């Protein structure tokens, strides 16, 4: 027995369970897809930020050659910058393409075989170990961080170590492109948990700066300086950057190269601008997905309304008002919409988790998009109500 006329709406769930389940599934699928896509974007965005911050570190000012990664300049600029009162820390770095091969126990480095036809297979970054940790955090998954006294030691990416079958304590033969006949022996002292920006990025190693300079026949030459200030306010960073640029121009004969002085603030602004464009494209895609889901939901809900035309006509004949008829339809559709939302949001999380496992190299850790969730929930609920109307 019905105690209230609104039970006419809920009665249809039992009368047509398949139709109700299909409507719920359509809403859940539409919501899940929007949560899935926006969540994957949030994960990718966070990974991009991590890669950029790993590159920039905690530096406020970056000094590099105007020729980019192929340009070199004298490290004589480093002590000049250190003398500025506003400067807190300065570190130098360089990066070169080299050949590397695992050595078997007792094997001489001169017997190592490098694939010359393929070309250099690793990027080795020269760092000042005691200063590097002030600027960047290298997650050591095994072993220990490189020490300044360890001149014949390297850090290696843990993913590359697994690929090569290398563990902490194993030895590598490394040769520069100019000294292929004189490889150098290194011991792996630590493995670094590092995510690459792309699948084609070369494996990374880290060694002491002076060692890399010697191997490449570039003594006293570096590719970049990172500067950290006491006062990180934007105005002070710009002022000190201008002082460093003037200092480089004044001592150009010593540096022997034109350098570019930039602030990390400007680079982060470029990153944010690019992310803003990507965010717009993503939200546009999410709206298209939601619009597609709307037609699926509308078709399913309209099917149920069409099947109830005779029922609605009879109710109107016995005196049910338009408002009561709308209430009956709403009483049937609203719970279905809420149930679809309840199932759709976790469903989107599951799809995101599966995508992360399938593409772990591109999608980082689990991240959620508040805007995407709001769009999915609000759009899904509105779609269910409009479709029922």
SS3 of residue 202 by DSSP: coil
Task: Give yes or no: residues 246 and 350 share one domain.
Answer: no
Report the distance separating Cα 12 and Cα 330, nearest Å. 12
Question: Is 264 inside any structural domain?
Answer: no
For residue 243, the model assigns a pLDDT of: 92
What percent of the chain clears pLDDT 70, i.e. is strictly above it?
Answer: 75
Task: Indicate if 71 and 188 belong to the same structural domain.
Answer: yes
> Are 314 and 244 within one domain?
no
pLDDT in tens, 82-138: 999 999 999 999 999 898 888 888 888 888 888 766 667 889 999 999 898 888 888
Whether residue 78 sits in one domain with residue 179: yes
Domain for residue 315, yes or no? Answer: yes
pLDDT (0 to 100) of residue 156: 93
pLDDT for 333-345, tens place per residue? 777 778 888 888 8
pLDDT of residue 359 exceeding 60: yes
- As to burial, measured by CB atoms within 10 angstroms (0-12 exposed, 13-18 middle, 19+ buried), residue 226 is buried
Domain shared by 156 and 305, yes or no: no
Whether residue 372 sits in one domain with residue 289: yes
Q: How far apart are CA 175 and CA 98, in angstroms?
A: 6
pTM for the structure as a whole: 0.62
Alpha-carbon separation of residue 280 from 80, 123, 179, 367, 379 (angstroms):
44, 35, 49, 18, 17
Query: Is 263 within the bounds of a domain?
Result: no
Rounded-to-5 percentages of helix, strand, coil across the chain: 55, 20, 25
Residues 282 and 315 occupy one common structural domain: yes
Percent of all residues in the chain with a pLDDT value above 90, rounded to a whole number: 21
> What is the per-residue burial (b if ≥16 Cβ within 10 Å, else e) of 241-260?
bebbbebbeeeeeebeeebe
64 has pLDDT over 80: yes
Tell whether 41 and 162 lie within a shared domain.
no
Same domain flag for 234 and 281: no
Are 369 and 42 spatial neighbours (Cβ–Cβ below 8 Å)?
yes
- Is there a domain that residue 102 lies in? yes
- How does DSSP classify residue 2? -
More confident residue, 244 or 372: 244
From the list 265, 257, 262, the residue with the least C-alpha distance to 226 is 262
The last residue of a domain, from among 206, 232, 257: 257
pLDDT at 234: 82
Domain of residue 46: give its range: 7-51+270-388
Instruction: Evaluate whether residue 262 is within a structural domain.
Output: no
Segment 352-366 shows an average pLDDT of 75
What is the number of residues in the chain?
Answer: 389
Placement of tokens 């792309």 in the chain: 198
Query: According to the model, what pLDDT value does residue 306 have?
Result: 62
pLDDT at 1 exceeding the cut of 50:
no
Domain count, the chain: 2
Last residue of a domain, one of 257, 278, 298: 257
Q: What's the mean pLDDT when you consider all of the chain?
A: 80
Domain boundary among 200, 222, 257: 257
> Which DSSP symbol is given to 29?
H
My answer on whether 20 and 75 are in the same domain is: no
Q: Does 58 map to a domain?
A: no
* Residues 33 and 118 grouped into a single domain: no
């Amino acid at each position: 027995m019905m105690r209230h006329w609104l039970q006419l709406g809920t009665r249809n769930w039992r009368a047509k369970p398949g139709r109700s389940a299909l409507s719920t599934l359509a809403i859940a699928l539409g919501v899940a897809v929007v949560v899935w896509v926006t969540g994957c974007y949030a994960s990718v965005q966070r990974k991009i930020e991590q890669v950029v911050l790993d590159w920039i570190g905690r530096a406020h000012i970056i000094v590099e050659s105007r020729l980019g990664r192929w340009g070199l300049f004298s490290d004589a600029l480093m002590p000049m910058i250190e003398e500025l009162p506003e400067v807190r820390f300065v570190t130098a770095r360089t990066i070169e393409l080299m050949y590397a091969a695992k050595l078997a126990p007792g094997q001489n480095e001169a017997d190592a075989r490098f694939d010359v036809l393929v070309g250099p297979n690793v990027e080795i970054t020269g760092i000042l170990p005691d200063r590097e940790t002030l600027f960047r955090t290298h997650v050591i998954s095994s072993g220990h961080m490189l020490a300044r006294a360890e001149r014949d030691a390297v850090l290696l990416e843990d993913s590359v170590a697994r690929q090569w079958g290398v563990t902490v304590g194993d030895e590598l033969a490394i040769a520069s492109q100019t000294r292929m006949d004189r490889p150098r022996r290194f011991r792996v002292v630590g493995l670094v948990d590092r995510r690459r920006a792309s699948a084609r990025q070369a494996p990374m190693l880290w060694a002491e700066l002076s060692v890399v300079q010697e191997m490449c026949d570039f003594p006293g030459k570096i590719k970049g300086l990172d500067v950290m200030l006491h006062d990180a306010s934007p105005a002070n960073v710009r002022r000190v950057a201008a002082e460093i640029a003037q200092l480089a121009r004044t001592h150009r004969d010593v540096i022997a190269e034109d350098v570019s002085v930039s602030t990390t603030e400007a680079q982060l602004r470029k990153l944010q601008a690019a992310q803003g464009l990507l965010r717009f494209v993503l939200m546009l895609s999410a709206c298209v997905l939601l619009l597609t889901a709307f037609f699926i939901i509308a078709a399913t809900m309209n099917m149920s309304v069409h099947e109830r035309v005779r029922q609605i006509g009879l109710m109107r004949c016995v005196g049910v008002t338009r408002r009561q008829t709308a209430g009956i339809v709403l009483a049937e559709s609203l719970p279905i919409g809420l149930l679809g939302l309840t199932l759709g949001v976790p469903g989107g999380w599951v799809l995101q988790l599966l995508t992360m496992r399938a593409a772990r190299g591109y999608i980082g850790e689990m991240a959620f998009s508040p805007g995407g969730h709001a769009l999915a929930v609000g759009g899904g609920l509105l779609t269910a109500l409009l479709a029922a109307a």
